[in-house]
Structure 1
Amino acid sequence: MAIKRFMLPAVLLLAGCLRPTPTREAWTNDTSIEFPRFFEQPAVEAAADGGMVELGGNVLRALDVAAADFLGPQDANTPCVDRRESHRYRVMQQQGILFIRIDEDPRACGLSAPALDSGAQYAVGSDGRILRRLRDGEPDGSRVPTDAGPGIPVPTSEVGRSFDPPDGSVPLPFIQSHE
């Protein structure tokens, strides 16, 4: 009898685990897309007194997609530094692609400096899909490293080996003399 009582809740619990977890909308990482230099020219601030700024629906959608991807879902418990309104956004359109730069605004949370690597750049297509994302601190895959030429292979037996044994002329920092 006790087994039958626990069967239904167990089946419901397992059925809930079988549902696919929701994922953010698919995006591609097209490294052939190069981000513009967002700070080469001054931007027009929407909050400037007397300044009129008009945003098209595709710009608003691209901003929403980028902010949702970068900052995740928002609710009343979201910390100040993770809120959408605590960030600054720069938008530029080139060749049908909307480029968005998102940076933390420390003043919005009463801070004096932003956190390290607290921004990101997005390239969003006209259909609202993220074509490329580059978070601060991540390597930029679009830049191909320059070739340093043919290297000299080092045998694994020599990796980490010092060829000049210390002769005592330079004291090693981890050896303390107790004289």
Structure 2
Amino acid sequence: MKSGLLLPLCLLLPACALFHRAPRPVHAPPEEAARVQFPLDLPADAQTLPAGVVTAMQLALDDFRPLDLKPHKGATEEELCLYQRESYDVTAAPGPEGVTFVQITLKPQLCEKQGPLMDMGATYAVDVKGRRILAVQH
């Protein structure tokens, strides 16, 4: 009886890989969170971004530099810089038929330790309602 159950279980095990959950941001421990003081109101220079634009940017960034992406062993200082999301600027613009174009570009001279870097960004066409990337141009 035990061997009769083993085969179906082994066949179903790979199906668990289909239920991959996107990585969630790490939260600070409660002691650290308790030290954060929120302002009564945000500063005058705060920016309001439409949620659809933020969603398009998030989808593009998640594809371009996933949160769980780690540098390879022995990465140079320049390569470590290129792995960081903070090394890039993100620009978004509305397109036709509900498409949002998202351009990700390397911040000028930030990671350039050994000369200029070329083609370190990408432009995405994002379907926000469908939460999917339609096309990528490198």
Q: Which residue of 1 aligns with 2:136?
A: 133
Q: Number of aligned pairs?
A: 99
2:55 is aligned with 1:56 = no
Alpha-carbon RMSD across the aligned residues, in angstroms, is: 3.5
What does 1:1-179 align with in structure 2 at a 5 Å threshold? Answer: 18-19=14-15, 20=17, 53-74=47-68, 78=71, 79-95=80-96, 96-109=98-111, 111=113, 113-114=116-117, 116-127=118-129, 128-135=131-138
TM-score w.r.t. structure 1 length? 0.43
Is the Cα contact below 8 Å between 2:55 and 2:128 reproduced in 1? no
Give the structure with the larger strand fraction: 2
Relative to structure 1, the CA distance from residue 113 to residue 133 in structure 2 (aligned partners, 3 Å threshold; closer, same or farther) is same
TM-score w.r.t. structure 2 length? 0.54
Gaps of 5+ in 1: 1-10, 26-49, 136-179
Is the Cα contact below 8 Å between 1:122 and 1:130 reproduced in 2? yes
Work out the CA distance in 2 between the residues paired with 1:22 and 1:80: 32
Gaps of 5+ in 2: 1-6, 23-43, 72-79
Relative to structure 1, the CA distance from residue 22 to residue 108 in structure 2 (aligned partners, 3 Å threshold; closer, same or farther) is farther
Between Structure 1 and Structure 2, whose CA radius of gyration is higher? Answer: 1
After superposition, give the CA deviation of every residue in 1:64-103 in whole Å (9 maximum; x if it has no partner): 110110112347x552212111001121112321101111
Give the structure with the larger helix fraction: 2
Work out the CA distance in 2 between the residues paired with 1:52 and 1:18: 47
Paired-residue identity, %: 26
